[in-house]
Amino acid sequence: MGSEKKEPFVIRGRLFTLLDGGGSDEHLYYDDGFLAVGDGGRILFVGPELPDRYAHYQVHRTQHLIFPGFVDAHVHYPQLPVVASYGTSLLEWLDKYTFPEEIKYGDRSYAERRAAQFLTVILAKGVTSAAVFSTIHQVAFEALQASSRDLGLNLVSGITGMDRGAPDALSVDVAAFKDINAKAIEASRNLERFSYAITPRFALSCSDRMLDYCGQLLESDQSLLAQTHINETEDEILATSELFPNANDYLEVYASFGLLSERSLLAHGIHNTETEYERWAESGASVVHCPTSNTFLGSGLFDADGYVSRDINIGLGSDVGGGFSLNPFVTMAEAYKVAKLRAQVLDPLRLIYWHTLGGAKSIHQDDSIGSLEAGKYADFCLIDITSDEVGFEIWERAGTVQEKLFSLMFLMPDSKNRVVATFTAGVLRWQDEIQSGF
C-alpha cells in the first residue's frame, strides 16, 4: 500500500492531467513530460524538464500517454456477471437478473472470486478509485475490502442496506443491519485507501426505520459518506411516491431522513423537478451520472446543464451491470451522446474532469487523487495511442489537446489503442504483457 517503502522513480513520456482547483479546463499536456514518484507512492514532481534533484532516479521512458487514474463514482461489483441482460427496465431488471446474482454473494468463496475478478478488470481499464456497491452480505463486503487491499485500489464501499422490496435472501431487519454495518465500519477505520459509505440501496428497498438509522449515522459520524440511487426511472419515482406519501418528491425522502448532505453521492438524478435541483444545489451533495446505464435500461437522458448551471458537483459512474462497460472512455463517450440528444455539447475536458477530479471531489478525496500533481498519490495509467494506425493519425492531426482526447473516447473501444498499464500509489498493479513495455 501507499506507505510501503518503494524505490522512487521517474516516468517520461506524453503526459496529460487536469489541474485541481482550476475548473474543468486548466490542464497540462506535454509531448515529452516527466512524472517523479517518491518512495511513499506520492507524486513529487510533474513538468517538462526534470529538476536536478531527481536526476539520480531511475527513468522509465514510455511511448504511451501518461494519464491520471479514473474514478468510477458508482458501480456494483456483484453485477459484473449480469452485464448485457436483455430486454427489461430497471425494476424488472433488478428482479429478473440482478437480485438472483446478488444472492450468490452470501457464499464467501464466490464473493472472493468475483471481487478479485471485478477489481482486476477495473484496473485494466485505468480505474484506480471507485465507489462500489456490494450486497447485503458481510462476507461480500469483506471479500471486496480484502481484495482491494491485495490489488492496491482506492475504494469507497459499504454494506448495501435492504429491508424490503427484495427476495428474503437479500433482506435483513434493521437490527441485523445495524450489527453488520457497525462491524464493517469498524473494520474500515484508519485504512489508508478504503473509506466507508453508508449504502441504503434506494428508497424502494428501505423502510422508514432503515433510512432513519442510515441518516442518523451519517449525521453523527463525519468520517462517513453515503451513496444511493435517485430519480432513475418514472416507474421507480411513482412507486416511491406511493411508499412515502408524506414526501413532496424523491429528494425529500432522503432529506427528511438526514441522507442529503455534502457527503452524499446520489446516482442518476435524471428526472428531477425544479425544486429538487434547487435543494440538491443547497445541500452540496454530488450527483453521479451513469450514462451507459441510462441508455441501456432506457431510463432517461441526464440533464448536464441542470447540474452545471447550479454548480452541483458531478462524477461519472459505469453503474455496471445496469451500465454495459467498465471502460471510462466508453462512459465519457456515452455522456457526450446523451448530452447531444438534449442539444447540449460537452467539452471533452469537462468529461475527463467528471471522471477524475469530479469523482475525487464526490468522495472528498480531491486533495489526494484525481490529477497528477505533487503531493497526490501516483495513481495513473498508460494509454497506448500509437498502435492503431488510423487512430494515431487522427490523434496527430487533431489541433488541440481537447480534440486529441475526444478522439480517444470514440475510437479507443474499437481500435487497438487501450490502457496497457495501471499504477496506484506508484506501484504497477496491472499490465498488458504484450503492449505495456514498462
Nearest residue (CB) to Zn ion, 276 versus 319 = 319
- Cα-based distances in Å from 423 to 11, 242, 377: 11, 47, 10
Query: Which ranges in 244-376 belong to alpha helices (H)?
Result: 250-256, 274-283, 291-296, 304-308, 328-341, 348-353, 359-362
Q: Does 76 bind ligand GUN (CB under 6 A)?
A: yes
Distance CA(404)–CA(343), nearest Å, equals: 23
Q: Which residue has the cell 498519490?
A: 377
Among 229, 263, 361, 404, binds ligand GUN (CB under 6 A): 229
Nearest residue (CB) to Zn ion, 64 versus 125 = 125
- At its nearest, how many Å lie between Zn ion and the CB of residue 149? 24
Site string for Zn ion, 250-289 (x = CB under 5 A): ----------------------------------------
- Cα-based distances in Å from 234 to 92, 162, 231, 272, 325: 13, 21, 7, 11, 24
Site string for ligand GUN, 277-316 (x = CB under 6 A): ----------------x-----------------------
Among 102, 319, 384, 388, binds Zn ion (CB under 5 A): 319
Give how far the C-alpha of residue 171 lies from the chain's centroid of Cα atoms, to the nearest Å.
Answer: 26
> β-strands 194-200, 160-161: how paired?
parallel
Q: Does 334 bind Zn ion (CB under 5 A)?
A: no
Q: Identify the helix (H) or strand (E) that includes residue 75.
A: strand 70-76
DSSP string, 123-152: HHTTEEEEEEE--S-HHHHHHHHHHHHHHT
Distance CA(301)–CA(259), nearest Å, equals: 25
Q: Does 319 bind ligand GUN (CB under 6 A)?
A: yes
Distance CA(284)–CA(102), nearest Å, equals: 32
Q: Does 266 bind ligand GUN (CB under 6 A)?
A: no
Q: Of all residues in this chain, which one has the CB nearest to ligand GUN in the complex?
A: 322
- Three cell numbers, residue 86: 436483455
- Three cell numbers, residue 154: 482506492
Q: Does 90 bind ligand GUN (CB under 6 A)?
A: yes
Q: Does 379 bind Zn ion (CB under 5 A)?
A: no
Contact of residue 303 among ligand GUN, Zn ion, none (CB under 5-8 Å per partner type): none
Among 322, 328, 348, 358, binds ligand GUN (CB under 6 A): 322
Among 125, 201, 279, 376, binds ligand GUN (CB under 6 A): 201
How many binding residues for ligand GUN (CB under 6 A)?
Answer: 11
- At its nearest, how many Å lie between ligand GUN and the CB of residue 190? 30
Q: What residue ranges bind ligand GUN (CB under 6 A)?
A: 76, 90, 94, 98, 201-202, 229, 232, 293, 319, 322
Q: What residue ranges bind Zn ion (CB under 5 A)?
A: 319
